[in-house]
A and B are shown apart, each in its own frame.
Chain A
Amino acid sequence: MSSQVPSDLLYAKSHEWARLENGVATIGITDHAQHELTDIVFVELPAKGRHVKSGEACAVVESVKTASDIYSPVPGEVIETNPAVIQDPSLVNSAPYASGWFFKVRLASSEPPAELLTPQAYATQIGA
């Protein structure tokens, strides 16, 4: 099963993606992650205004079988969350890189964390 790894995003080893634009990172989980979880039935997001560290567990995604923590791939302040995935968690399965995004973080620094993976490195990690 080959998973999509868009070339314009950065990735965390724990299967989150980040889209960096004007000092704001939009965060979601990867196609590979949604495929592994399947049947996503519930999403819990961080409160707006929360300051998160890189690698901090701050959201939960639940499939029929299990609950999984979602880690912020970047440090900063949560400035927006996606009401659509709360309403319809299956968006995470159907459009993980588009309407299935989770939350947005205003980056604490202008440089993205060095530990984030390039699309190529993430694709290698998941064997895509």
Chain B
Amino acid sequence: MLKRTPLFSAHQRLGGKLIEFGGWEMPVQYTSIVDEHLCVRRAAGIFDISHMGELFVSGSGAADFLNRCLTNDIRKLAIGQGQYTLLCQENGGVVDDLYAYRLDTELYLLILNASRIDVDVAWFQARLAALPELSGTTVLDPASDRFGAFAVQGPRVVEYIDRLFPGGSQGGTSVSKPSELKKNQVAAWTVSVEAVWVARTGYTGEDGFEIIAPSGLTEALWDQALEQGRSVGQQPCGLGARDTLRTEVCFPLYGHELDEVTTPIEAGLTVFVSSDKGPFTGSEVLARQKLEGTQKRLVAFRMTEKSPPPRPGYPVWAAGAPVGIAVSGTQSPSLQNGIGLAYVPPAVAEPGTVVEIEVRGRRFAAEIVRKPLYRKVVKTP
């Protein structure tokens, strides 16, 4: 039985095409992936992300505990700030990639990938049990069943977000309105006596916000955001557009770029792996890889001849030999070109390297390009 988010009936009303994703019944699209994708790049889109997991970590030991588990340095977070970070095994393989928000002095919220919630929670519980000096002062509170979430993304979201949450924040970063939040900041607004968390984060490469709300409030807030977003041409968007948007800006997706046999260094996420915060699970392997390099590297590529869209699993060839494998790939709606991400040896990883992508037994010309594949054109006033 697939799980359904608090927004399931909203998706049905909106005519969303529903598919299975990570054990959840989720909309893949409402109208068309290309339409929804371009609407986010040009104006605004709203996405159900309720399938993602929530885990609160609190107590005087919380920061130390998280710093023993996660790759980024949690001490960098002021109250009301978030950071991208990873949970690794001792061998450096990635258990999950996640966002950690510091909501209060000794209160953290972790946002987990839908398909990894149970694995992550079990992992944190086992780690905590193995650290007696922290287990009495750290509390883990898995809260995925109590929260829904949605993302509003695109350059015009900022035009209406303040109407959705009127007044000043009541937790996290102190701001007089949501649009004052800076990238990666988070703050709470009280709705029906409950805290709703609003973070200036996202997974599309556009400006935008992610809203984490108690399950019972999620649909009403979604409906209000849908209504307020009408003025800027906002459309509901499914997982299809979410995937093409994140691929264009080269954000990793667990199960594609990341898994238990791939390290953050191989995935090019070195800036999210702290070198100076003390030991954490996987720190020895990751420090050595930082120093010595790795045998595989995540690269971006674009097709340079007319070809079928590249897909995950397609072989990558260089100089007449198979050298790697694509882990993501699509026809880019913004660039109108086949694009993808692949693991290849360092010798093939330099931008400009000519490669081929094998599709159904035929090879098509491509080249390694610098990440991200798509860059926002910033308008200067």
- When the two chains form their complex, are residues B308 and A64 in contact, meaning their CB atoms are under 8 A apart? no
- A38-B309 contact given A64-B330, A65-B28, CB 8 Å threshold: no
Interface presence of B341 (CB below 8 A): no
Interfacial chain B residues near A1, Cβ < 8 Å: 15
Interfacial chain B residues near A38, Cβ < 8 Å: 29, 31-34
Give the distance to chain A from B63, nearest Cβ to Cβ, in Å: 41
Give the distance to chain B from A50, nearest Cβ to Cβ, in Å: 15
Interface presence of A29 (CB below 8 A): no
Give the distance to chain A from B15, nearest Cβ to Cβ, in Å: 8
- When the two chains form their complex, are residues B311 and A41 in contact, meaning their CB atoms are under 8 A apart? no
Interface presence of B376 (CB below 8 A): no
Q: Contact flags (1/0) for B164-191 with A, using CB distance below 8 Å?
A: 0000000000000000000000000000
- When the two chains form their complex, are residues B309 and A64 in contact, meaning their CB atoms are under 8 A apart? yes
A38, A39, A44, A62: most-surrounded residue (chain B CB, <10 A): A39
- When the two chains form their complex, are residues B331 and A64 in contact, meaning their CB atoms are under 8 A apart? yes
Interfacial chain B residues near A44, Cβ < 8 Å: 308, 360
CB contact between B333 and one of A62, A64, A67 (< 8 Å): that residue: A64
Interface presence of A60 (CB below 8 A): yes
Cα of A67 to Cα of B333 in the assembled complex, Å: 16
Q: Contact flags (1/0) for A22-42 with B, using CB distance below 8 Å?
A: 000000000000000011011
- A39-B34 contact given A44-B308, A64-B330, A65-B28, CB 8 Å threshold: yes
CB contact between A65 and one of B240, B307, B360 (< 8 Å): that residue: B240
Q: Contact flags (1/0) for B330-371 with A, using CB distance below 8 Å?
A: 110100000000000000000000000000100000000000
- When the two chains form their complex, are residues A41 and B331 in contact, meaning their CB atoms are under 8 A apart? yes
- When the two chains form their complex, are residues B360 and A64 in contact, meaning their CB atoms are under 8 A apart? no
Q: Contact flags (1/0) for A63-83 with B, using CB distance below 8 Å?
A: 111010000000000000000
Binding site of A, secondary structure by majority: helix, strand, loop or mixed? strand
**A-B contacts, CB under 8 A, total:** 39
Cα of A110 to Cα of B309 in the assembled complex, Å: 38
Interface presence of B244 (CB below 8 A): yes
Give the distance to chain B from A116, nearest Cβ to Cβ, in Å: 27
- When the two chains form their complex, are residues A64 and B311 in contact, meaning their CB atoms are under 8 A apart? no
**Cβ-closest chain B residue relative to A38:** B32
- When the two chains form their complex, are residues B308 and A67 in contact, meaning their CB atoms are under 8 A apart? yes
A-side interface size class: 10 to 19
- When the two chains form their complex, are residues B34 and A64 in contact, meaning their CB atoms are under 8 A apart? yes
Q: Contact flags (1/0) for A8-19 with B, using CB distance below 8 Å?
A: 000000000000
- A41-B360 contact given A65-B28, A65-B240, CB 8 Å threshold: no
Give the distance to chain A from B344, nearest Cβ to Cβ, in Å: 23
Cα of A63 to Cα of B308 in the assembled complex, Å: 10
Interfacial chain B residues near A67, Cβ < 8 Å: 308-309, 311
Interfacial chain B residues near A64, Cβ < 8 Å: 33-34, 240, 244, 309, 330-331, 333
Give the distance to chain B from A77, nearest Cβ to Cβ, in Å: 22
Give the distance to chain B from A128, nearest Cβ to Cβ, in Å: 16
**Cβ-closest chain A residue relative to B34:** A39
Cα of A63 to Cα of B241 in the assembled complex, Å: 13
Give the distance to chain B from A45, nearest Cβ to Cβ, in Å: 12
Cα of A21 to Cα of B33 in the assembled complex, Å: 37
Cα of A39 to Cα of B31 in the assembled complex, Å: 10
Interfacial chain A residues near B333, Cβ < 8 Å: 64
- When the two chains form their complex, are residues B33 and A39 in contact, meaning their CB atoms are under 8 A apart? yes
Cα of A49 to Cα of B77 in the assembled complex, Å: 66
Cα of A64 to Cα of B309 in the assembled complex, Å: 8
Interfacial chain B residues near A65, Cβ < 8 Å: 28-29, 33, 240, 330
- When the two chains form their complex, are residues B309 and A42 in contact, meaning their CB atoms are under 8 A apart? yes
Interfacial chain A residues near B28, Cβ < 8 Å: 65
**Cβ-closest chain A residue relative to B243:** A65
Cα of A39 to Cα of B32 in the assembled complex, Å: 7
Give the distance to chain A from B253, nearest Cβ to Cβ, in Å: 14
- When the two chains form their complex, are residues B33 and A60 in contact, meaning their CB atoms are under 8 A apart? no
**Cβ-closest chain B residue relative to A36:** B17
From 299 to 332 in chain B, residues with beta carbon under 8 angstroms from any chain A beta carbon are: 307-309, 311, 330-331
Give the distance to chain B from A34, nearest Cβ to Cβ, in Å: 11
Give the distance to chain A from B44, nearest Cβ to Cβ, in Å: 20
Interfacial chain B residues near A39, Cβ < 8 Å: 32-34
- A41-B29 contact given A64-B244, A64-B330, A64-B333, CB 8 Å threshold: no
Report which A residues bind B (CB closer than 8 A).
1, 38-39, 41-42, 44, 60, 62-65, 67
3 shortest A-B CB distances, which residue pairs?
A41-B331, A38-B32, A64-B33
Known: A42-B331, A44-B360. 9 other contacts (CB 8 A): A38-B32, A39-B34, A42-B308, A62-B309, A64-B244, A64-B333, A65-B28, A65-B33, A67-B311
